[in-house]
Amino acid sequence: MHEHPTQLAGALAAEERKLLACVHCGLCLEACPTYVHTGDENDGPRGRIYLMRAVEEERLSLDSPAFTRHIDRCLGCRACESACPAGVEYGQLLEAARADIAAGGRKLGWTSRALRLALRHVWSRPARLRLAFGLARLLRDSRLPHLLLASKLTKLLPATVELSLALLDSSRPARPSRSGDEGKSVAGGANARDVDSSALLFEGCVTEGLFARVNRATARVLGANGCRLSAPRGQVCCGALHAHAGDLEGARLLARRNVEAFRDEGGAAVVTNAGGCGAMLASYVHLLAGDAEYAEGARDFSARVRDVSQQLDATGLGRAGAPLEDVAVTYDASCHLLHGQKARTEPLRVLGAVGGVRLVPLEGSDVCCGGAGVYNLLEPALSARVLEEKLAHVRETGAEVLATGNPGCHMQLGAGARLAGLPLRVVHPVELLDESYRRAGLYDGARDES
């Protein structure tokens, strides 16, 4: 065995009882998108855990392509966790394996090197991150990416460049934002009525950077239902991209800052509207379990994390909005919202509260779209195969609007639809409820510039 403990050794030890309870039923294989597409046992959770054990027992080298390739190809969607009768927390094992691989100093491709630099020198530094997203918005709002995609000139560029432009363009509002939607303040929960509770908003770096309208809609909708939102100062990136890339120490540094920022003696809920962020925030209890100073605070913090749909379910949807035009809407579940935060029915209840919406079931709505953070840039071929199947099912619904609860999923599905020539408006569920409330006049004095 290894002379010094590794991240993987600790994670395997923590899951040992559950792993011993595994009866090799194969349910995790059926739930795993990469196994379904490749048919390779090593591209499924069971095979990857076998490889992890082989590395920890020194039967396989940490830098062996037989190990790193199959770990890299995992989407990290955690569908296997929901399928596993033994309750194995595979996500913790995956991140530990990737941390050990990263610490091993293997040679990286240019995309992985660029990601590592961005995580260390931009994502971990709030001022630089705000600047980066500000520049991204300027490029997006100039409509240059849209015009390049429409002209087909992007076909002359590397595929990853074309996809990157499509991802950025897909974050544009489907219609002009209302006044204040791109502002910085959500204090008080705009136009709150009969407020009888309060919550704290985790803004999220990608959400606040490219989807500020969703944060504003979240504040308005919760305010209309008696819950006042405020956004604590000092909050930073949730650390999900760091953890997924194997930089667990970087993720821990960010987690500590968020635990500090969201300390609340009243135990107010921490509300998110991004499935990936929410799942990461809920995992701080594991991430900081070995930190004597922060373990208790992390446990309290994680227990307070709720998706906006879960918060609305808890407070009650006490307001009825005006119906939208008769519109066919389908819903695609964010993997981490579904498997990490366990929000299965709550987003559907939010959509069900919007009059005029015909909710069309989506086959495979619980299957990953292939975005998985930056997986679409690191593993573009397999990501494209997963996305192609998803879009085929979306076409079958005939829906004009697709709702999903995570910015990464929003961009992946929006970009895929644009590149495939599929007319589709992608929104967050709370945006549709917000639009319904606006039409009903629930927001006193709210200006409509749409």
| pLDDT above 90 for 184 | no
As a whole number, mean pLDDT of residues 306-321 equals: 91
Cβ neighbours around 187 below 10 Å, total: 12
Domain boundaries, the chain: 7-103, 327-439
Residue with tokens 């990857």, as numbered in its chain:
48
- In CATH, the architecture of 7-103 is Orthogonal Bundle (1.10)
As a whole number, mean pLDDT of residues 419-448 equals: 87
Residue 182: the pLDDT is 55
Q: Calculate ∠ Cα 365-368-372, nearest 5°.
A: 145
Q: Which residue has the higher pLDDT, 2 or 105?
A: 105
Confidence of residue 102 (pLDDT cuts 50, 70, 90): confident
Residue 103: the pLDDT is 82
Question: Environment class of residue 142 by beta-carbon count within 10 Å: exposed (0-12), middle (13-18) or buried (19+)?
Answer: exposed
Cβ neighbours around 190 below 10 Å, total: 24
Q: Do domains 7-103 and 327-439 have the same CATH topology?
A: no
Cβ neighbours around 5 below 10 Å, total: 10
If you count them, how many residues does the chain have? 450
Residue 306: the pLDDT is 97
Residue 185: the pLDDT is 52
Residue with tokens 């960010």, as numbered in its chain:
254
Q: Phi first, then psi: give them for residue 257, nearest 5 degrees.
A: -65, -40
Q: Looking at the domain 327-439, which fold is it?
A: Rossmann fold (3.40.50)
Confidence of residue 1 (pLDDT cuts 50, 70, 90): very low
As a whole number, mean pLDDT of residues 36-52 equals: 92
As a whole number, mean pLDDT of residues 40-59 equals: 91
Q: Which residue has the higher pLDDT, 360 or 110?
A: 360
Residue 450: the pLDDT is 30
Residue pair 256/294 in contact (Cβ under 8 Å)? The answer is: yes
Q: Which long-range contacts (CB under 8 A, 24 or more apart) does 119-123 make?
A: 119/241, 119/242, 119/245, 119/247, 119/250, 120/247, 120/250, 123/205, 123/237, 123/241, 123/242
d(Cα 85, Cα 80) in Å, to the nearest integer? 10
| pLDDT above 70 for 176 | no
Confidence of residue 354 (pLDDT cuts 50, 70, 90): very high
Residue with tokens 């697709």, as numbered in its chain:
402
Residue 192: the pLDDT is 47
Instruction: Share the mean pLDDT of the chain.
Output: 89
Confidence of residue 181 (pLDDT cuts 50, 70, 90): low
Structure tokens at 243: 């953890």
Least reliable range by pLDDT among 15-19, 267-271, 391-395: 15-19
Residue 444: the pLDDT is 67
Confidence of residue 189 (pLDDT cuts 50, 70, 90): very low
- For 153-163, how does the pLDDT look when each residue is reduced to its tens digit (9 = 90+)? 888 888 889 99
As a whole number, mean pLDDT of residues 188-210 equals: 78
| pLDDT above 50 for 446 | no
Q: Which residue has the higher pLDDT, 145 or 265?
A: 145
As a whole number, mean pLDDT of residues 426-449 equals: 82
Residue % of the chain over a pLDDT of 90 = 67
Confidence of residue 175 (pLDDT cuts 50, 70, 90): low
Residue 195: the pLDDT is 58
* Helix, strand, or coil (residue 262): coil
Residue 219: the pLDDT is 96
- For 384-397, how does the pLDDT look when each residue is reduced to its tens digit (9 = 90+)? 999 999 999 999 99
